Amino acid sequence: MLANNNGKNSGKIEKKLDKLATPSTTATPKKKMVVVTKESQKGTQKKVISAKKTIHPIKKEAVPIQKNKNTGTPLSTNNKKVLPPEKTGQQKTARMPNSVNPAQDADTKANKGQNGIPPSPKGNTPHNDTPSPLVVATKKKVERSSKLQRFRRGRAFLSGIGKFFWVALCLFFTAILLSSIVGTFLIYQVFLDIQSDLPPLGINNIRDKMRENSVVIDKYGDIVANLAEESYISVSYDELPQSLIDAITAAEDARFFTHKGIDGPRTINAVITNSLLKQVTSGGSTITQQLIKVTSLQNKIQTDADYKDSNERKVHEWILAHQLEAEMSKEDILSSYFNTLGYGRFTGVGTAAKRYFNKHISELTTAESALLAGIPQASTDNNPYKDMEKSTKRYNVVTKLMFDHKFISADEKIALDSIPLGDLLLTNQDEFTSKNFSYFSAVESELNQLFNITTADSDVFLPYYTGYKIYTAMDQEQQRFANELMDTNDYVDYAEMLQNIPYYYNNGITEDLNLQASFAVVDVKTGGIPAIGAARNFKEHGNNFALNGYRSPGSAIKPIIDYAPGMEKLGWTANTMFTDKKTYYSGTKNEVFNFSNSVTNQPISLQNAVSQSLNTVAVQAMQQVGVEYAGTIAGDLGISRAKELLEDNFLFESAALGGGLETTVVEMAGAYATFGNAGKFNTPYFITKVENDKGEIIYEHKQENTQILSPTTAQNMTNALIHTRNYGTPASGRKQVNRQINFAAKTGTSSYDADDRQAYGLSSRAEKDHWIVGYSPEYAIAVWTGFNVEDADFLSKTRGNVNDNKGYGSYIMATWMNKFAPEYTKFDFSVEKSFNATLSGIAVTLDYENGQAFWNRPTISYPTAMSLEIRKALGSIVYDIILVNKDGSEIHLNTVDANTLSYSFLENTTPETEKFKIIARFENQLAEVSDSTEVILDIHSRWHEEDTAIETPVSV
């Protein structure tokens, strides 16, 4: 018996324990549990319902597991797992939770044995399949206790992890807070920096819709014409047709009337797209932003190359666009925008309506509005007169956007897309096309460079069409004559030229197909271009061959890349001797052939090699000079692709004959002009100065006069080319430059490459391009003739015998030079006085006994900017011995290069001869002596020991 403080209840408890230990179907104490029977279709079920919420925690022994008699596998009881018996026969039970009454709990443990559960009186006596409700309740409590313990252990573990993550989370948000503060501060500083550099809004400039047309002024200060093809026409908002407003807003800014200068969704989309793709593929600019760009920001864009595509410029657009929306109404913004739209050679929709349709803006149809709305996106490419296919494609994009934004219906879109754009346009453009279109196109090309405008711009705006004065090197008389040379048969009979081409003659073809020509005239002294021939019938196709027609120059490149570099580096002259012999490209077995396919194996002078255009000697010349040096000189003389190929290590010895090297007539004329300008190079140019509408000079050409070649090289090369003009290939031309004009020239012919010859069965003598380049003391001129397109079909038909027009370039050159080049002028190869070299004084020592004078050789101090070539041109120092009479008259006695003189013979001179002097000078005739160093000695000075020399510096 367990000891119990109460004592009197111990007997009753023992009796109850004895009853509970006996197996029974139901072990429910009387008046403690109520058994309720419930009828159902499945049979009678018994439900145990607790009469009281509190039950003593007395546990019945575990029910032993019953096994299948056949298989031996344990059987479950009411689908509930039971604990298997221990090998000793004792039941394995879970620990009971502590009793509510400690005394009772202790007594119970004493009677129940191990773990407080009484052993079964008969060991493994089988139980009924239905466990006691008390056992079920006890098991649930045990399970809940186990789960509770696991939960508490898990909560403790999670609590540790949670504390870690909580600390980490706090640190994370603290870092975010600090970085946000720092980031905000940095962003604020960046904003202040951007804000401090913000250009002014310039509201008056934006409102100013009436702008004067830009004018072109010639070299004499006379106004030539408006730069644009059509006078600028300003429009107001009331004049704009609704169809044009719809078309422009659909194409450029569909939410224009609802945003405040910045379209948020488009801007965010553009930023994300451009950031992901790491390139600008989407702009997101609103109409207001575009207007800001071409007005308020235009000056900064022009003067700062990095600003144009910077993030700073975009932020400035946002800020100023927002300001503008507060200052101007939507209607004023839109009308100002319409007046600044660029259409290539003219500005504003009012001007464009007149130019394309000969209509006032208010008269435009929906189709015409859609066409005008599409062009400014890329005014050059979308010009219907230049490229109808691209213009139509853009037109269809605009009509689709108008449909997408519900400005037109589906039926209207179908109707608009079915209209041929050619039916909308004016067919006769002559009244709008400038008579100076050829020259003006070159001016525009140069302006694009000055204004940093490229064809890649998505919103091309040409500010130089309004409000500017553009001063040029143009000579109006020369340019008018150049136009006649290109567009008429009055001076050059192109029809006759075609009849001398076998393909045309044999097939009876009279039209010229795509026969083309171009030329450029360059002022030898300045590099200014007074006139160009951009192309034949330039207005019809607009390709300026003078600027963009890169072709192989053939033998015309030889003086530039072969012979002049050799004269400069190795001291060759026009009479330097070479040998016309079998020649191979270095390191190969590829033989170089002359036009005659033979060699003479005889000595030949440089000037004769030039005049006969011997390929063998030209390649030998480059091999001696070196490809790198030759390419450098050619690049310095303005042949741009020579420099590019050299930088890419792609310039080879074949360039000695023009192989793989292409150039334009402008570049060739500029290079040859250097020979006539004593070796000084000037980049050819069209524009001398640009003034804005305030009269401020925003650009002015600076004279270069870069000494690339020495005057000696220039003179020797000119002598060789004058010989070539008189006795070489230019002399065989059909028309000669007047013999009274001092003129040097060289021709060039390019051939088809081996692949083309094999593919189309072309003759090895088939000629592709013809050149002639020459210069007088005043003008250099380069002429090219050839075919615009030489595709597979063209070559197959003609078999390459299409360009047998050799000599026709001389018609253009000779006709122009005979009209404008002065006669009897001479080339000036003297060294200018600006190139000064100072000689130190001469100290003379007298040998009285032998009657001799000795002096030191003066040192030469050259300017730091003077090149080595110029120094060579000045030559070495010689000394003139001059007798001076009492009356001041002088007699030149001798010239010596030694620094000694025997003067004893002077004793026998006449009494009138009082003195002699020594003059130090450069012996080269190119040098002008502006002063002299003279030593004046008394004839009888050898008897006077105190005689001294007079020392005076000389500069040349």
Which pTM does this prediction carry? 0.64
- pLDDT averaged over the chain? 77
Query: Mean pLDDT throughout 346-357?
Result: 90
**Could you read off the pLDDT of 408-431 as tens digits, one per residue?**
999 999 999 999 998 999 877 666
Confidence of residue 802 (pLDDT cuts 50, 70, 90): low
Most confident of 71-80, 154-163, 935-944: 154-163
pLDDT of residue 312: 84
Encoding tokens for residue 874? Answer: 């000045």
Choice among 239-243, 539-543, 662-666, 751-755 with the minimum mean pLDDT: 539-543
Query: Mean pLDDT throughout 880-903?
Result: 77
Alpha-carbon distance 704 to 682, whole Å?
5
pLDDT of residue 883: 76
pLDDT of residue 156: 65
Query: Mean pLDDT throughout 899-914?
Result: 66
Burial class (CB in 10 A: 0-12, 13-18, 19+), 783: buried
pLDDT of residue 951: 40
The long-range contacts involving 308-312, CB below 8 angstroms and separated by at least 24 positions, are: 308/452, 309/280, 312/194, 312/197
How do 767-775 and 744-751 pair as beta strands?
antiparallel
Q: What angle do CA 492, 498, 499 make, to 5 degrees?
A: 110
Distances from the Cα of 684 to the Cαs of 225, 437, 666, in angstroms?
A: 22, 19, 7
pLDDT of residue 74: 52
**Could you read off the pLDDT of 725-765 as tens digits, one per residue?**
999 888 776 688 988 999 999 999 998 888 888 888 887 77
Per the CB < 8 A criterion, the answer to whether 835 and 866 are in contact is: yes
Confidence of residue 194 (pLDDT cuts 50, 70, 90): low
DSSP 561: I
Sign of CA dihedral 318, 322, 327, 329: positive
pLDDT over 90, % of the chain: 40
Choice among 309-318, 503-512, 691-700 with the minimum mean pLDDT: 503-512
Choice among 281-285, 532-536, 734-738 with the minimum mean pLDDT: 281-285
More confident of the two residues 403 and 313: 403
Interacting residues of 848 by C-beta distance below 8 A, sequence separation 6+: 942, 943, 945
Distances from the Cα of 117 to the Cαs of 87, 94, 114, 121, 141, in angstroms?
A: 18, 10, 6, 12, 15
Per the CB < 8 A criterion, the answer to whether 23 and 127 are in contact is: yes
Confidence of residue 46 (pLDDT cuts 50, 70, 90): very low
Choice among 78-92, 268-282, 699-713 with the minimum mean pLDDT: 78-92
Encoding tokens for residue 341? Answer: 């739209």
Place of tokens 């464009």: 352
pLDDT of residue 748: 94
Q: How many CB atoms lie under 10 A from the CB of residue 851?
A: 16
pLDDT of residue 151: 61
Is the confidence at residue 80, as pLDDT, over 50?
no
pLDDT of residue 87: 41
Alpha-carbon distance 266 to 440, whole Å?
39
Tell which residue, 228, 808, 222, 766, has the closest CA to residue 519.
808
pLDDT of residue 153: 67
Choice among 350-354, 537-541, 871-875 with the minimum mean pLDDT: 871-875
Encoding tokens for residue 673? Answer: 């002009």
Alpha-carbon distance 407 to 59, whole Å?
87
Tell which residue, 527, 652, 666, has the closest CA to residue 585.
652
pLDDT of residue 884: 77
Confidence of residue 168 (pLDDT cuts 50, 70, 90): confident
**Could you read off the pLDDT of 20-32 as tens digits, one per residue?**
334 444 444 434 4
Is the confidence at residue 142, as pLDDT, over 50?
yes
Tell which residue, 589, 587, 561, has the closest CA to residue 651.
561
Tell which residue, 173, 235, 248, 225, has the closest CA to residue 345.
225
Q: What are phi and psi of 842, to 5 degrees?
A: -100, 125
**Could you read off the pLDDT of 205-224 as tens digits, one per residue?**
787 655 678 999 999 999 99
More confident of the two residues 952 and 647: 647
pLDDT of residue 13: 41
Task: Give the N- to C-terminal CA distance of the chain in Å, as an integer.
Answer: 143
Choice among 213-217, 564-568, 844-848, 877-881 with the minimum mean pLDDT: 844-848
Query: Mean pLDDT throughout 806-828?
Result: 90
Q: How far is CA 238 from the centre of its chain?
A: 41
Q: What are phi and psi of 917, to 5 degrees?
A: -135, 155
**CA torsion angle 221 224 228 231 (round to 10):** 100
More confident of the two residues 622 and 899: 622
More confident of the two residues 194 and 103: 194
Is the confidence at residue 672, as pLDDT, over 60?
yes
Question: Given strand 215-217, what is the order of strands in its sheet?
Answer: 223-226, 215-217, 469-472, 687-691, 697-700
pLDDT of residue 826: 93
Interacting residues of 375 by C-beta distance below 8 A, sequence separation 6+: 343, 344, 352, 382, 383, 384, 391, 394
Is the confidence at residue 17, as pLDDT, over 50?
no
Alpha-carbon distance 188 to 193, whole Å?
9
Greatest alpha-carbon span in the chain: 178
Q: How many CB atoms lie under 10 A from the CB of residue 34?
A: 11
pLDDT of residue 729: 81
pLDDT of residue 437: 87
Confidence of residue 61 (pLDDT cuts 50, 70, 90): very low
pLDDT of residue 97: 39
Per the CB < 8 A criterion, the answer to whether 255 and 405 are in contact is: no
Query: Mean pLDDT throughout 486-499?
Result: 78
More confident of the two residues 186 and 424: 424
Query: Mean pLDDT throughout 344-360?
Result: 89
pLDDT over 70, % of the chain: 65
pLDDT of residue 95: 39
Alpha-carbon distance 745 to 728, whole Å?
9
DSSP 748: E
Question: Given strand 937-938, what is the order of strands in its sheet?
Answer: 890-896, 877-885, 913-922, 937-938
Q: What are phi and psi of 584, to 5 degrees?
A: -125, 150
Burial class (CB in 10 A: 0-12, 13-18, 19+), 701: buried
